[in-house]
Every structure is written in C-alpha cells, then in structure tokens.
Chains A and B, each alone.
Chain A
C-alpha cells in the first residue's frame, strides 16, 4: 500500500508519534481499510490492484492504435464535405508533356490525377508521368521551400528589390531561358516584360528537341509548326525512331488513335499496319507489326531510296527496305502516315516530301490543329551559350528549365560563370538552380494558375487545387512585378481570356459564365478555320538533291527517352523511378542496351559494366531486337541535384548529345565499348522472357482472324468444352464484376501501373528490394518475346489479380483472411491476415504481394510514406498496409462501393462504364474495360463473348474474372 505522509518527519521516518495520529483522528483511507488491521493486504489493496491491472491491460491493449485527433472544421468551407472528394479540371504541362486532367481532392489535398474524359484530345487517357505528378507536389526534399540568395534564405521582398535593381542597371542583354511556353498568358507576361526591358530576349529550348521538324516544315510549307498527326486515319503507319506511343509529342492522343486504328470488332474488320524503323527497342517498336532494326545513318538512306522510288527516280540501287516501304506506301495512298523522331532537317524534309507524295496531308496530317508544343530552337540556344561565353549577357533568368543538366557537354555550365546575374525559377531542386544567384521557387502546377494552348484551337486552364505548401511564387507573378505591373497572374489570365479567347465563341454572352464553364470543363475548343498546305517546289527539289548519308560502319550510341522518366525532369519521383521500363523491365537505373550478338562479341552479360567514353561506364542489358553495333542509353538519369530519390542513380548522357548543323543530334558514333571488370546488379522485375510455348498470350494474324475470329484462340473452345468440376459453379446474384483486356489495344505504356499505385497507396520499396523480387505493384505488365532473338516479336500483357471464382488462394488461408465477395471479387481482410504467405504460393498468377517490411513511417524506406507531407498523397479510402500482411488488386473496390452508394442514393442501377478502376481510367488506349458480367448488355459481357476472349491458365478451371482478347498482328 502507498505510504501517505503528513509531515516531512513522518516521511523520513524520524518522528512518528502514534498519539498524534490518534489525536488527529483516523484518516479516511485508514477507515476504509480498517476491516482487518492485521492483514497486510486489505480489501482496498485488492481493489486497487484490480483497478491497476484493469487499467494497465486497457492501456497496453490500446498501445497498438495511438490516438489520432480529427479536428472538425470550425467554419465548414462551402465546397468541402469531409470524406467526399472534390474534382477540379486542370491541365498538366511540364514544359514538354501536355495532358488535360481532373484532380481528385480529398479534404483539401490533391491525391490523384485522372484524365479529363470530356476532352476529345485524350479521351481521359494519361501517362505514367501525368499520374505520378501528384506525388512531386509533396516532395519535401525535392522542392525549394523558400527563396535563396547565394544559398542563403532570403525573402521575396528582398529578392524583388535586388533583382529589379540589377535588371535596371543591366547594360547587356537580359535573357529569359525557358522550355516551351504554351500558355498565351505567360506569353503576354513575357511580352510585357519585354516592353519594360528593351534589352530583353526570350530563348526557348527543349531538352528533347523537335527543332528540325519545325524547320523542315518551314522549308516545305513555310510554316514553322508541328502538324497534328492522325494515326487513327492511317492505314499504314511508319515510324522512324519516333516513340510516339510513349514519349513523342502527344503520346496519350497518339496511343488512343493508334489503339482505335488497331481495334477489331465484328463491324470493323480492318486494322492499320505499323512499320517501325529504329535502333533500340522502344515501346512503339515493340508494338509494330514489322520492326526493322537499323543503324542511325540508314534512316536517311532508306528515306532517300523511298523518295527516289516514289518520285520515279529509282535506279534499283536503293536499299531493300526502301523498295518495300515504297511499295507499301503506294498501296496505301492517302492513308499513309510517316513520322520520324530524328532531329535532322534532311530526314524531316524527306519525311515531309514522302508524306506529301503519299497524299498524307489533309488525310493523316493536318496543319489546322498544329501543335504549340516543343517550340524550342536549337540554334537560338547555341547562340545564347555563345553570347554567354562572350560575356554579352548581363542577366539570365531560367524558368523551370535545367540547361546545366540537359545541355550537351559542359558548355552551358562553363558559360554560366560569365553571366552577372543568374536567376532560376524552379519548382524542384535542379542543377541549374544550384548554380544560380537567386533561386526563386515556383509552386507545383497543382498549386498554380495557368492556361495552356497546346494546339491551335485548343485552350485549357490549370487551376490550383491546394494552397502552396511552401513559400513559393509563380514565375509569371515575379516577371509581372519586375516589369512594374501590379496585377496578379491570375487576373492577367482572366483579362487575356476575356479579350482574346472569349471572343472566339458566341455561345455564351457573359465572360464570367464563360470563364466558369471553362474552369469547370478545363478546356475550351473553338471552331477554327481549316488549313490546307501545299509543298513548295523548292522543298521537293531539296528533298531530291540531298547529300547521301554518311555511312558509319562503326558503333553508334543512341539516346532515347525512357518511358518512366522522359527527359529527367521528374527523376525525383519515386513512383517513376520504380516503374519498370516496359521493354527491358529495369527500374532504378539507366543502362546500355546492346544486341545479343554484340554481347557475345564483347563477352558481356546483363549487369556487366561497359565503358562507352572515358569515365562513363554503364551496366549492360542484352536487348533482343537491338541493332548490332548500336548501344541505346536512356536520357534523364544521373541527376546530381534533385532531392534524395534520384541523386546518384544512373548516368547523365545528355552530355554526349551533339550539335550538328545547328541541331541536337541524339546519336553519336563511338568506339567499340570496352568491357570492364566491374559488375553491378540491375533491378529487373522480370528475368525470364520466353513463354516456354505456353498459351499465355495468344495471338494471330489479321488475315487468319478475318477468316476465323477465334483464330489463335482454339484452345479456349477446347477448354470450354472440357470443363469438368466436382463443385457447383459459383453463382453471383447481384453484380459479377469483371475486367476485359484487349491485347490489341494495350501498348504496354504502364500508365495503369502508376495509376494503381497512386490510387491504392502502393509503397515504393527501392532498388535493393526490387532486386530481391519484392516489387509491390498491384498490377504489372508482363512482356514476352517471341521468335528469334535478333529481332523478336514483343507482346505485353497487363496482369493483375484475376479474381478467380475458384480462387486457389482462398481455400488455403488458415484464418479466412482472403475470401470471395458475393460480387465475384477476391478480397483480403488486412486485419485478419497473419501473413502465412500460403496464398502467395498458391496463386498461379503470382499477383499477390507481401509486406516484407513496414513500408510506411520507416527510415529504411525513405520515400513518400516516410514524411508527413509525403503521406498527404495517400488515398484515405484505402488502408495503408502493415508489415506482414498480404495485399493485391481489389478491382478498386472503394470505387465500386462509391458508385454503388451514389446509384443507391439516386435510386437507380449502376450504369455500365460508370465504375472505372484506376487502371481502366488511366489507360490511354482504352485497352481495359470493367463492368458487370450479369448485365448482358455491358461492354465487358460483350467482350467476354467475343471469340477472341480467353483466360490465362483457363485449363485450370480457376474461372478468372479477367479476360484477355487475343493480339492480332497485321503482317
């Protein structure tokens, strides 16, 4: 029993007088325990111990779930209902890629990007980079939190005063260097700035340059434009080094068009034919019906040959490929589309001429909606660097660009020292800002106002969806301030829209209404006059008289954009770093792809380091389909300053891009690479590339399919006929959810993988863990090679949980943590899972994922889930899984529930197509269709009844709810 004391003497035991005790009377606590004064343990003690034990048990039991406070709004904001998402239409534009989007905002924080379905340009498709961009918003370590002057924190007021002063006193040129600006309002800001400072000029450049296309069009059509390509109108698609399905210009649009042109239905029995000429295996090349591997110089030879044959000047000495190509083009008059990604004016001039002769203009190529993307001019950039070097530049203002990183060689970095004032506007840490005097952080695009005009006749708005997390200010606001304009950028946008864009329509008479509507829809597409072009004779003549290509029999190094990282501006995004390259299946690294033949010659294998230049060593990937004597290396890696994720990953090869005839050339000739003794481990998510003769991806050719729609899928009929089971077949009374995957529409771009990751709080685990084959992605894209190793066919197969009606995972779980819902979904109860992993073993598709470690709030996995701001991106509708539980695709059950509840409140049935799991929503090719099998009219039901439909491993009678439509090639 506790000792109670009344005085210090008593406490110290020095003085204790029972008489005194008597005098003061018996204290209360003693009274209560006085029933048996002899006993040491009193009733009171007993009660106390009871209470103590009970309380400690309660306290200990509650340890596992610490108390978290949810503080309600004191004043409820009008447009926020806790627990309900708000959606804002906006535009994604990062200086290169454009995509109209919807932003899902939960409780004031953007948590998911989706494509804007109402926009015909993209039909709601996205890319992985667009999907992942929401994570960059919360990148605490990769963003600047406040302005810096010479590395020290400064204030905006101070910076404004200083810079304005310095600009005023600038004697020499003031240059604003940005990547392509597609915002009319920003252009207006720059114009105003120019009015204020007459020694000002604006230089636009792109890390991945499309300069030659614009220059060639200037030459051919007198338009320095990039036309709008229509892959859906083309019967013959010919690509030269243009990865138009993953990176080139408008991949989302092109993927949709491409998928539409290749879709086969009962009423559409024809599909386009796709030929691809390239050195390394790109996503686009992997989808081609026929892929030709060529050395970089061969492109010009083939195009010249084709041109000569088509122009009637053929002399029989043309390359074989040119003859075939010319023949195919002749067959597809007015339906041909030739695109080239090579930044070479000769190539582009020829492409224009051939397209013109093939009758593409007006049919598959259109200058009406020509693109405003990629306006960069390589010559201007070179001129700028020369001027900087010559000390002709007083002030260089860099706007959200990173030339120190992506300018070929060290020229820019060295010239930068000779500029008096260097200012960098940047939303993310980058190499250029680190060298600037002033770093003026701009907000993330989800925190900014902006407008976009990516193409003629297409206007979009970008609006903030969250208050800026850090002390940032938009570049446009700064420029306005420095040019003595006191209106904000937002007001300027409205003003400009009222004056210039509002007038392009006559539906709405009131600007406020028009503005509200544009904000709501995200886009405005006025009718514009169509443009027809005629090629100039001069251009045709030029095309005919071009110099012959210089033949390089030696080795070539070819640079390309990786599907995940692009030009590297999003390198610090862990979702993108961990996205396996669709073709090589490598993540967290760039590598040197070489052909199997060369690998043998050099005596190297995957992971061996080869030296390309002095001091540049890269791990080898033996890439089937790679042209011999070429090495392909992805740009966008090797960031020096970017935040913790990307630093030190891979090698920056922008340094080796060359300027040739005023254009950036993305291939260079090199000496034969040298094998080094070193070896590194690559994070591969798939190591076996052969289907071993199993009917996993079923394919056929167009002619066979036209005769028999079940061609290539004969096994399905056999398996259906030989179905046998001892058990009654599962019946689903209400809904029976299912997913159909059209392998003819899937191009393997992996946007769905990132969308799934964003929607379902899938953790990032880092290179080391990926190497141990523990990637957490709920869906993956399996890639198999068919045919010979030197130029194989490639098939992609998205694989997620198949939600088998006879699921093998369900009957082996000892605690019944994984069960079947009465709507056909295989579901995991995370609370119940003890982690025996038996279900993982017994899943024939191996789609189940185990939480090997605690991935959130763990220093060992220092990605977004390890800091408070990074965790803001988490979807509150989806549990963050604890260490030791199994997880997998749930068909986005939270979305199904949401739509069902909505339908119930509106007293109606769920409509077909109303529920879209994240992967389905994100897919730019509409390859995935989700719906209810119990509804015979639903799209998915129809697809399940298609002769092309089959299930992976259907012979096992697992009755998966995911169906695949055979891949048909037009060979």
Chain B
C-alpha cells in the first residue's frame, strides 16, 4: 500500500469498515431531509428559468441575447469556458493526486468527478445553444454524408473543441461510473427493497467483490486514469486555442493553453471546496472530509493563484514588449484602465490576491474564509473569462466598430438554468450514489491509527 507523506489520520474516528459503509451509504438509504427538498425546489426553479430562456432562444433566435455584430460571443462562451473549468477538478483530483500519491483525495474524488460530469454537461450546452441554427448542429460532426467534397474544416479550433469536449465528457463519465461499481454493489447488497436491488443490481454489473474482480477493477481504473490524464490537459488547452488561434488582440497569445489549464484546475478546486464545505455541513461526513482536506485544497488554490497571477503579469508584459499597438491597447488601456477596468480588477483581486491569504494558517483553518475565498475564486474566474472574451471583442482594431455588450434576461436565464441543472444533478447524485468512494476510503480509513498502534 502506498503511504502518503501525510502525517496523522485521513479518516477521523477510527471507524470499522462496517461503520464506514454505514456512514457513507446513509444518505442513499434514508429519506432526504428538508434542506434537500428546499435545494431541489430551488434547482427546479432555476431549471424553469433556464427552460424559459431556452424557449426564447430557440423560438426567436440569438437576437434575444445581448451579443451584437462586434461582440458576437458573450455570456454563452463565458459560461461555457467557466463550466468547463469547473469541470476540470474531478478528473484532475483523481488523476493528478493519484500520480502524486496523495491518498487524501480518496474521500473527495467521487464528488469531484460527479461535479465534473454535471459541469461538463452544463458547458456542453452552450456550444450547441450559441449556434445560429442549432438544428443543423450535426454539420459539425464528421459523419459520412453525400455532400461530396464538403467536409469539416480541420483548421478550426471549434471542431477541435467538439472532439475534445465529447471525448472528455465520455471519459469523465466512464471514470466516474466504473469507479462507483463496487459501491453500487454495496448498496445493492444492503438494500431490502426489491426495486432498489434490481436497479442498483443492473448498474453494479454483477459485482461480487471477488479478488479477481478487484484485480481487474484496479487495472481498469489505472488504465482509464492514464488515458484521462492527457485529456484533462487537452480539453482546456483546446478551449484556450479557440482564442489563441484567432487574430484578435487579447486572444492571440501563446500563453493561453497552459494559462487556461491552470485556471481551470484553479476554478475547479475552488468549486470542490465550495461544494465540500456545504456537503460536510449537511451530510455529516466531517469524519471523511476533514478540516485537513480543506486545508490541502486551500494550499492547491494558493499555488494555483500564484501561477494565475504571474500569467496575468506575463500577458501584460508581453503586450507591452511585443510592440503590437493593438495588443498593448487592449491590455493596458481597455483592460487595466479603460471600460473594462472594474471587471479586470475584480478578476485580479479574486484570483491573484485573495487566495494569497492562504499563506496564513488562520485563513486555511477558518471555514468561513475558506468558503468566502472559494466563492470569490469562482466569481473571479468568471470575470476572467468575461474580461478575455468581451473586452477583446468590444474594442479591437477599427475604432468605428467598437461596441459595448450588455447581457439580456435570456442570457442570465440560461446561466441560471445551467446552475439548476448542475444543482439538480448534484442533488440526485448525493441522494442515490455514495458520495464518497466506500471501497477506496476503506483502504485509508485505518491510516494513522495503525501507525499509532505500532508505536504503542
């Protein structure tokens, strides 16, 4: 067994395996509490808002949005990039922490992966919606057709997007699903209702927990993990290429792929932190997701913030150093001091400055500050995408074209709708699936205690 360098315990309470199973399976076996219904109502309302916005968009066209002939991408693409970023954490959690042998991730990665799946689903909506003629969206797929030489444009980053996102979504779902097979079997076995037994039984795929099954399960997980690792990097790098490949000042920068990747991990971890703080509170899983876990995430955020901050500086430096007047104008004038300066400085404050408070233990230990800063990072990362997309388009080469951008209710409705989708997904997830990988946690639940025993 691989030991993490972590000293102390990963699961508090020195639980027996039976206790671990009982504690984690509890939400799937009891009636949901009031807060769950309250949250579900909220999610449904948000979904309804989204449905209205969707209707407006489909029935009347993209004119219902705030975008125009100068700023042709707005909240749609901002939200797309933002959700994709959020959707980064799950796979990154599993893969990278596995590579770095960070065992503490075991109690979080299931939730993080669920988050990934729902976030990527939310994200994937926008490329479809932002099309002028979504009913012809299939044109963007490389399927055999009778149109002769007319084929896709492999030079277009949007096509790379289609491939990257669909691959990533498929991989995330696979990873998530295969990871939970033993736990689904556990619930099947514990369940007394025939209906539940059948359903979980189907999804558990006849898992019996035999050694050979575990052997294969472990190998599959490693293979999938290995396959997913480059995808985590590719998906957001390719999203970054949507911008980097263009000629627009503020988009046309080579730093974008790594910068977007780090930004995505950063925002994803922040979202994990936000969600975990809430789940810990309501699901009584503090024993599994300890204060230490949260502190670790805070440290990752602090490091991510440093990279993000230096990327911001580097962008501005290159804009000046390159001598391209349009780029310098975008960065120094439009963003730092012009029409978009408030958005720019919100972004800097939330992403580059606030997480630096995590240098201090007091902030890493305070649930309140952890929560506030995680929310701020989520907001800050949204503003980062806003600044990148809107400020670059709003004031580009020819001043005669310059135009401002204001979202409409439909834009907001769609964003709220994706929140609804995300929330509803997460709520269903905690209701029906063990939110912590029982089989994995069992492997670390004794860590620390055994050492103590040995010492004694």
Contacts and interface: CB of A to CB of B under 8 A. Distances in A.
B393 interface: yes
Contact of B69 (A775, A844, A952): A775
A144 to B, nearest CB: 34
Interface in B108-142: 127, 130-134, 136-137, 139-140
Given A812-B158, A842-B248, A884-B61, A850 B132 contact: yes
B246 interface: yes
Contact of A815 (B139, B326, B403): B139
A762 B35 CA distance: 55
Contacts of B211: none
A808 B140 CA distance: 19
B403 A884 contact: no
Nearest to A783: B400
Interface stretch (A453-461, A508-516, A691-699, A700-708): A691-699
Nearest to B408: A772
B72 A837 contact: yes
Interface string B239-251: 0001001111000
B146 interface: no
Given A773-B403, A884-B62, A850 B72 contact: yes
Given A811-B155, A840-B69, A696 B398 contact: yes
Contacts of A838: 156, 158, 242, 246
Given A783-B400, A808-B247, A842-B247, A815 B140 contact: yes
A841 B252 CA distance: 12
Given A769-B63, A846-B70, A837 B399 contact: no
A882 interface: yes
B157 A840 contact: no
B61 A883 contact: yes
Nearest to A695: B325
B58 to A, nearest CB: 11
Interface in A920-940: none
A883 B59 CA distance: 11
Contact of A692 (B66, B157, B399): B399
Contact of B131 (A799, A835, A849): A835
Given A774-B63, A850-B132, A853-B60, A841 B246 contact: yes
Contacts of A842: 246-248
Interface string B152-191: 1101111100100000000000000000000000000000
A840 B72 contact: yes
A688 B246 CA distance: 24
A836 B158 contact: yes
A418 to B, nearest CB: 52
A832 interface: yes
Interface in A810-850: 811-816, 832-838, 840-842, 844-846, 848-850
A885 B68 contact: no
B212 interface: no
B73 interface: yes
Contacts of B342: none
Contacts of B399: 688-692, 694, 696, 784
A502 B127 CA distance: 70
A834 B131 contact: yes
B61 A814 contact: no
Contacts of A780: 400
Contacts of B393: 841
B68 to A, nearest CB: 4
A725 interface: no
A837 B153 contact: no
Nearest to B60: A853
A160 interface: no
Contact of A884 (B133, B151, B398, B404): B133
Contacts of A691: 399
A846 B61 contact: no
Interface string B391-427: 0010111111111100000000000000000000000
A956 interface: yes
Contacts of B400: 686, 688, 780, 782-784, 797, 799
Q: Which residue of B61, B66, B73, B395 has the most chain A CB atoms within 10 A of its CB atom?
A: B61
A696 B400 CA distance: 10
B247 A814 contact: no
B133 A812 contact: no
Contacts of A797: 400
Contact of A812 (B70, B134, B246): B246
Contacts of B70: 773, 846
A833 B156 contact: no
B133 A844 contact: no
B150 interface: yes
Given A813-B156, A816-B153, A799 B72 contact: no
A819 to B, nearest CB: 9
Contacts of A814: 140, 152-153, 156, 158-159, 162
B329 interface: yes
Contact of B397 (A837, A845, A853, A886): A845
A834 B248 CA distance: 22
Contact of B73 (A813, A837, A845, A848): A837
A775 B70 CA distance: 11
Given A835-B132, A840-B69, A846-B398, A811 B156 contact: yes
A848 B401 CA distance: 11
B156 A837 contact: no
Contacts of B403: 687, 773
A812 B325 CA distance: 24
A953 interface: yes
Given A815-B152, A852-B62, A844 B325 contact: no
Given A687-B403, A691-B399, A841 B73 contact: yes
A606 interface: no
Nearest to B242: A838
A851 interface: yes
A799 B134 CA distance: 31
B61 A782 contact: no
Nearest to B158: A814
Contacts of A368: none
Given A772-B68, A774-B68, A854-B61, A834 B156 contact: no
Contacts of B130: 836-837
A204 B247 CA distance: 60
Contacts of A808: 246-247
A696 B325 CA distance: 13
A687 B156 CA distance: 32
Nearest to A812: B156
A148 B322 CA distance: 73
B130 to A, nearest CB: 7
A846 B396 contact: yes
A833 B131 CA distance: 9
Interface in B307-362: 325-326, 329
A845 B132 contact: no
A850 B159 contact: no
A815 B147 CA distance: 12
Contacts of A956: 247
Contacts of A836: 127, 130-132, 158
Contacts of A689: 399
B163 to A, nearest CB: 11
A851 B132 contact: yes
A845 B61 contact: no
A959 to B, nearest CB: 13
Contact of A834 (B63, B69, B132, B247): B132
Contact of A883 (B132, B140, B246, B248): B132
Interface of A: 686-694, 696, 769, 772-775, 780, 782-784, 797, 799, 808, 811-816, 832-838, 840-842, 844-846, 848-854, 860, 882-886, 952-953, 956
8 closest Cβ contacts across the A-B interface?
A: A835-B132, A884-B132, A852-B63, A782-B400, A884-B133, A814-B158, A837-B72, A773-B68
15 contacts: A687-B404, A688-B395, A696-B399, A775-B69, A782-B400, A811-B156, A832-B150, A836-B127, A840-B69, A842-B248, A844-B398, A846-B398, A882-B133, A884-B131, A952-B398
